[in-house]
Structure 1
Amino acid sequence: MERRESLKETIHIYHTNDLHSHFENWPRIRGFLKKRKRWHEEAGESVFIFDIGDYVDRSHPMTEGTLGKGNIALLNEAGYDAVTIGNNEGITLPREGLDILYENALFPVALANLFYDSGERPKWAAPSCLFDLPNGMKMGITGATAFFSGAYEQLGWKLSPPVEELNAQVKELSKEADIIVILSHLGIHEDERIAHEIPEADVVLGAHTHHLLHEGKEVDGTLLAAAGRFGYYVGHVMIEVDTETKQIIAKKARVYKTAEELSAPVDEQMEIDKYIKEGKQSLSQPVISLPAPLSSDWFAPSQLPGILCEGLREWCGADGAFLNAGLLLGGLESGTVTKYDIHKVLPHPINPCLIELSGTELREILKQTTDDKWPHMVIKGLGFRGQVMGRFVYDRLGIDMDRYLFTIDGIEIENDKLYKLATVDMFAYGQFFPQIYRAPVKNHFMPEFLRDVMEWKLLHLDFHLEE
């Protein structure tokens, strides 16, 4: 008897990750995804669009003004089929903000490892989802977000270890699903671990570490795929299946470079500008009227960094404070200052941080801040949305390197005494200052950002200021 040739079909998955509200790339991405979805559906092929988290970033005024809901409307419009969350959705929004972020979403949020501190799963998050394909096969998806357990707990959430949670979800999905896809906002190393430890996973769509896999990467039979950051690329995974045996025949991945391979709509710049205008409008509430402008300079003494540093010390209840002037992206003009103006100056999702240190440790940190390498150092990541570190600014901290004298409020720092230092949390996460990074007592103020401290300080400012 002649053997009948098997019926083959390709399932298409398009994926984005770590867009971080870079809407300057969004018009091309949305147009491309809608076109491709229509194209595959007209050809009778199954097609899905997933986002792997950090689509929301409060550094963009539209995202800040809508607390991310404007972003979700854009995902709806583009026809996304499912998403997971990144740490920007998870810990830069207050708990009540995340709880309502997806209330108008037209897609499920696949998120297996997030719980309320009571142990219940939030109603807006599904630990897994099952999609029925027209060819009779089933595709299961699950997702997880990065294990920043301390930050989540401070906001009233609870995380379970992501790989263990994914393993449990995949074991359940494999009872019904013919194809299993994991949405992983965990980073490339954890994705590789998933491939080693969860053999049932067919595809892992990655994020968080902003890695780019041009043609994917196969690890122990699992295909890893990722599309970099900021919408510079869109990912595309193709899964070829035998619809009779319901088996996967082949898997491959590629990416499309947004600037070169995705066509621009005719009104591209108008749309990009519209998102800024919407944000400006939603943040138009006046905060204060300034009788004179407040200057900001990355490399020379100026007013606004000093005001923020003083406010940081007061907010945290510290003995002294320091920060880098590069955090301030501009000054404030005289007259009415709005929430938009403050956001524009301090767009970072960076929190105040209070650290307890010995006098010996504090002296060493202050000595390190005098190094000439800092002002022009380019900084990437850690929530920083500026360009360079800038000069260090101090409040109640004194440094006299000629006499090797370090003081707090004019009194010499004692080696064995404990002090409370206020600074920004990027120094607690990054290894700029080992003594801060290793400090056992660190209190992160969440969900407040530096701009909240600035707004509070401006409202309590004594306007008898001198240049």
Structure 2
Amino acid sequence: MEEVIHIYHTNDLHSHLEHWPSIHKLLTERRRWHEEEGDEVLVFDIGDHMDRWHPLSDATRGKANCRLLNEAGYDAATIGNNEGITLPFEDLDSMYLEKNFELLAANLFKQDGNRPEWAKPYHVYISSSGTRIGVIGITVNFARFYEQLGWKLNDPIDELKNCVDQLKGETDVIILLSHLGIHDDELVARMFPEIDVILGGHTHHILHEGKEVGSSLLAGAGKFGYYTGHVTLKLDGNTKEILHKKALLYDMNEADQAQDEQHMAEGYFMEGKRLMAESVALLPEDLKADPLQHSELSKMLTQALREWCDADCAFMNAGMILKGLKQGNVTKFDLLEICPHPINPCTIRMSGAELKEVLLQTSDEKWPHLQIKGLGFRGTVMGVMEYDGIEFQQKGNYTQIFINGKLIEAKEHYTLAIPDMFTFGRFFPEIQRAEEKKYWLPEFLRNLLEWKLASY
């Protein structure tokens, strides 16, 4: 007699709730169908379900996402970097307190070495026929950022080994919820043949029929709720040996749509907007913004960046501001709408020679129209560069650069404030190579703009 286990999985939704009603419908209907057939069903999320660009996620600091996972009947989830490093410590520590599922994060600890009360490294599910299914969760190793927020993140591979060692012999099936990315998933599959299924996320990979690496089946459902994954395991009912593994994806654009899906998704957005109606400033006039033009609003944010970080100078791309602000009341929602990026301030300590090279590169005519994707950026084009504490003067074919009115000196050292995006992308080699970097967490750029507008 064979036993069938159905595993449904989502990953990297990033609070794109446009298809969430249909995902909810699919998961709840499929669970009912399979259970009526006597099969086992497990539903997992692989992290980055939350993203603070969405007003409902930002207003509730992810608690609404936890509520949605509860309502859809998830059995377990792990965290991604959006849950882990875009929330202040107290917000992440309270996000899952009302969860009805297991939160699995084997490599996450408090700084005293204890695990948060809402997380555990793994959980063992027992099927109706007695099959022991061990499920482990791990998240990507952004230890430096977790540490600044008050957490301790251990090496995921080390913690995974501990979990596998504990589960070997105690389980019949091992499943990994991995927010590490496809390349690390392939490495894990080769290192740990005991893991039967790796459900992946972080790199937004799409594996329509899964991918076999060694004895493991890898699965990944892309991003933004475009797909929902389904892995089927068939086991020998007596020996518990896995006889067959199959992975497939359901395209949520083509799936049976939930009734009033668009209306429900709009409702999530409007609920968040209502929760973010708190006033932060009263403007005497419009503040315009255009990524391809210098504007008072982008200059204001660049100035706030330098002042907040107590830096000598700052630069920022105007594309960070998506649109202007109207005269009158400005709310938290307005600031989210014009600056939705989960991007933090960053300071770099560098020599005048290095700083001059970076600043000369910023004047390259390629920047304004350069389209940017990823790195936390939620806009479209880079836009023109705005500067604070920096002045360029052309003398014939030679460009002179002044920092706060003084000619830059090659051997002097300066503190430059920038959006952290420039440290992750391959924009400026000198910034990438710089050893003295400081990330200012947990504030986003929009928090700095709010702070600046309060005194406008």
* TM-score normalized with structure 2 length: 0.98
Match of 2:316 in 1: 323
Give the Cα–Cα distance (whole angstroms) in 2 for the partners of residues 231 and 295 of structure 1.
34
The superposition leaves residues 284-329 of structure 1 with CA deviations (integer Å, 9 ceiling, x where unpaired) of 1111110001110110121110000000000000111000111111
Q: Which residue among 426, 432, 450 is the counterpart of 1:431?
A: 426
1:60 equivalent in alignment to 2:54: yes
CA shift, 1:204, in A, is 0.6
Q: Which residue among 252, 272, 278 is the counterpart of 2:246?
A: 252
Q: Which residue among 332, 351, 354 is the counterpart of 1:358?
A: 351
Match of 1:112 in 2: 106
The superposition leaves residues 178-227 of structure 1 with CA deviations (integer Å, 9 ceiling, x where unpaired) of 00000000011111111111111000110111111111111111111101
Match of 2:180 in 1: 186
CA shift, 1:55, in A, is 0.2
What residue identity is the alignment partner of 2:305? L
Q: Which residue among 441, 449, 453 is the counterpart of 2:444?
A: 449
- In structure 1, the residue corresponding to 2:249 is in which secondary structure? strand
CA shift, 1:72, in A, is 0.8
The superposition leaves residues 219-269 of structure 1 with CA deviations (integer Å, 9 ceiling, x where unpaired) of 111111101111111111111100111110111111111112x12222112
1:169 equivalent in alignment to 2:163: yes
What residue identity is the alignment partner of 1:395? D
1:117-128 matches, within 5 Å, as 117-128=111-122
Give the Cα–Cα distance (whole angstroms) in 2 for the partners of residues 376 and 72 of structure 1.
38
Q: Which residue among 290, 296, 305 is the counterpart of 2:298?
A: 305
Give the Cα–Cα distance (whole angstroms) in 2 for the partners of residues 443 and 413 of structure 1.
22
What residue identity is the alignment partner of 1:453? L
Give the Cα–Cα distance (whole angstroms) in 1 for the partners of residues 223 and 269 of structure 2.
20
Give the Cα–Cα distance (whole angstroms) in 2 for the partners of residues 184 and 201 of structure 1.
12
Choose 73-82 or 392-401, whichever is displaced more. Answer: 392-401
The superposition leaves residues 106-142 of structure 1 with CA deviations (integer Å, 9 ceiling, x where unpaired) of 0010110001111111111011100010111110001
C-alpha contact (below 8 Å) 1:296/1:331 kept by paired residues: yes
Give the Cα–Cα distance (whole angstroms) in 2 for the partners of residues 399 and 42 of structure 1.
72
What residue identity is the alignment partner of 2:301? L
1:80 equivalent in alignment to 2:53: no
Q: Which residue among 14, 27, 30 is the counterpart of 1:33?
A: 27
CA shift, 1:275, in A, is 0.9
Match of 2:277 in 1: 284
Match of 1:392 in 2: 385
Give the Cα–Cα distance (whole angstroms) in 2 for the partners of residues 17 and 267 of structure 1.
23
Match of 2:407 in 1: 412
Match of 1:10 in 2: 4
Give the Cα–Cα distance (whole angstroms) in 1 for the partners of residues 219 and 301 of structure 2.
42
Percent of aligned pairs with the same residue?
53
CA shift, 1:346, in A, is 0.9
- In structure 2, the residue corresponding to 1:158 is in which secondary structure? strand
C-alpha contact (below 8 Å) 2:294/2:318 kept by paired residues: no
Give the Cα–Cα distance (whole angstroms) in 2 for the partners of residues 168 and 189 of structure 1.
21
What residue identity is the alignment partner of 2:222? G
What residue identity is the alignment partner of 1:425? D
Q: Which residue among 137, 141, 148 is the counterpart of 1:154?
A: 148
Match of 2:327 in 1: 334
What residue identity is the alignment partner of 1:375? P
The superposition leaves residues 439-463 of structure 1 with CA deviations (integer Å, 9 ceiling, x where unpaired) of 11111110111011000011122xx
Aligned residue pair count: 454
The superposition leaves residues 349-379 of structure 1 with CA deviations (integer Å, 9 ceiling, x where unpaired) of 1100111011111111111111111111111
Match of 1:4 in 2: none
Q: Which residue among 103, 128, 131 is the counterpart of 1:134?
A: 128
Match of 1:403 in 2: 398
What residue identity is the alignment partner of 2:346? C
- In structure 2, the residue corresponding to 1:40 is in which secondary structure? helix
1:230 equivalent in alignment to 2:224: yes
- In angstroms, what is the RMSD of aligned CA positions? 0.9
What residue identity is the alignment partner of 1:377? L
Give the Cα–Cα distance (whole angstroms) in 2 for the partners of residues 164 and 430 of structure 1.
28
- In structure 2, the residue corresponding to 1:306 is in which secondary structure? helix
C-alpha contact (below 8 Å) 1:366/1:399 kept by paired residues: no
Give the Cα–Cα distance (whole angstroms) in 2 for the partners of residues 434 and 263 of structure 1.
48
Match of 2:360 in 1: 367
- In structure 1, the residue corresponding to 2:218 is in which secondary structure? strand
CA shift, 1:9, in A, is 2.2
Give the Cα–Cα distance (whole angstroms) in 1 for the partners of residues 57 and 120 of structure 2.
24
CA shift, 1:399, in A, is 2.2
CA shift, 1:410, in A, is 2.3
Give the Cα–Cα distance (whole angstroms) in 1 for the partners of residues 122 and 342 of structure 2.
29
Give the Cα–Cα distance (whole angstroms) in 2 for the partners of residues 200 and 379 of structure 1.
40
- In structure 1, the residue corresponding to 2:25 is in which secondary structure? helix
Give the Cα–Cα distance (whole angstroms) in 2 for the partners of residues 101 and 24 of structure 1.
22
Give the Cα–Cα distance (whole angstroms) in 1 for the partners of residues 385 and 321 of structure 2.
12
C-alpha contact (below 8 Å) 1:350/1:383 kept by paired residues: yes
The superposition leaves residues 416-444 of structure 1 with CA deviations (integer Å, 9 ceiling, x where unpaired) of 11000001001112221111111111111
C-alpha contact (below 8 Å) 2:282/2:327 kept by paired residues: yes
